[in-house]
Amino acid sequence: MFDFNLPAIIANVPALMIGFAFHEFAHAWVADRLGDPTPRSQGRLTLNPFVHLDLFGTLMALLYRFGWAKPVMTNPLYYRGDKRRGQIMVSLAGSIMNFLVAFVVMFIWFVTMLGFESSQWTEILSRVFQATILMNLGLGIFNLLPIPPLDGFGVLSGLLPGRYAPQLKLMEQYGLIILVLLLFTDIVNIVLYPTMSNIFDAYQKIITLILTPFLG
């Protein structure tokens, strides 16, 4: 479950920077498009990863490949149209962006490897590419868990009727404790890693189909 392998951690650093930057930018961008000025006013409408990093969430991501960044502050009262639908869209934006980034990086990885002969550099590049893909898949899936402060809780809050507000408020108080406890259970092995593996395999098959006509 832990990964204390130094080369792996080094490869995870750029992977984490990319994953967090695009994840939080997506939240900020969707909220901004819906009419909320809060992310822009707080400087979160940027791909600069250092603006988005959360110390504890970053450590979790480096060690587990599942973590979180500093949440983008939003005000659903500004959202145009249905506020609850807007909340769900903003909450989902980060994970959707991570899945898109993982696919694009895998595509670039495959194309890059076609142009290089096997060498030490290709091994290093492959390690970074793979770490970036896995980090983005991990962030995307992990953040969909319906536990505060993760994005899945924002989706859950947007879906549930207002009468469940007291229960949601209670969950917010203990969300981080629940999250840490889950990290020390088999949830990563039982749910998250298999889901990552399935998406990774699906991406690989799709990209292979796309590139096959050009390999003849």
Active-site residue set: 24
**Alpha carbons 101 and 103: distance in angstroms, whole number:** 5
Residue 169 CB partners (closer than 8 Å, separation 6+):
none
End-to-end CA distance of the chain: 41
Separation in Å, CA 136 to CA 9, 34, 97, 103, 109: 15, 25, 9, 9, 14
Residue 140 CB partners (closer than 8 Å, separation 6+):
23, 94, 95, 96, 97, 98, 99, 102
**Alpha carbons 31 and 89: distance in angstroms, whole number:** 8
Task: Write down the residue that tokens 């980034």 correspond to.
Answer: 101
Question: Nearest 5 degrees, angle CA 127-CA 131-CA 136?
Answer: 155
Instruction: Confirm if 185 and 157 have CB atoms less than 8 A apart.
Output: no
Instruction: Confirm if 90 and 31 have CB atoms less than 8 A apart.
Output: yes
Q: Is the link from the previous residue into 49 a cis peptide, with omega within 30 of 0?
A: no
